[in-house]
Amino acid sequence: MMLQADEVSLLAALGGVLREAGARAVRPSHVQAKAHQDWVTDVDLAVDAFLAEALGRLLPGVPVLSEERAAQEEGPCEAWWVVDPIDGTGNLIAGLPLFGISVALVDAEGPRLAAVLGLPGGGLHAARRGAAPGGTDSPCACPERPRTLVGLSTGLIE
């Protein structure tokens, strides 16, 4: 595979890129509907542009596929970045503190490494294939018995 960078170092660098991108995640001044209950803001576009440039510097020649724009590349790729510049745009628009920035490096075997920056607050969660989240080699602990009640709501009301 063309990706020769040390994955631990690459994951650390990706964390830095996400923190820089997070500084651009401010209250939006322009909102546009993409589809029913699906929006894009000036913040989505600014973070997307920053990520495209920064990830291009991090791994030159690896295309960046984003939720906010059409793919520019044609033909097969050995690896590519998959980006959601603002994951939770509806919450950002509503002023709710539940959104983030999601980035993954994907190859033919699936996700190779990924990171999510929770905003506001900047909690960074990262993982790489074959290692526990955070880039360590220790296994993740899962509860023996899952919780019996889980509630999830998008909060979308028309």
Q: In this structure, what is the dihedral angle of CA atoms 145, 132, 19, 110, given to the nearest 10 degrees?
A: -100
Is 157 labeled as ligand-binding? no
What is the C-alpha R_g of the chain?
A: 17
Answer yes or no: are the C-beta atoms of 28 and 42 closer than 8 Å. yes
Q: Answer yes or no: is 137 a known binding residue.
A: no
Check the annotation: does 67 bind a ligand. yes
CB 72 within 8 A of CB 94: no
Q: Is 87 annotated as a binding residue?
A: yes
Who contacts 129 (Cβ-Cβ below 8 Å, separation ≥6)?
A: 109, 110, 111, 112, 113
Inter-residue contact 154 to 146 (CB < 8 Å): no
For the annotated binding site for Mg(2+), the residues are 67, 84, 86-87
For the annotated binding site, the residues are 67, 84, 86-87
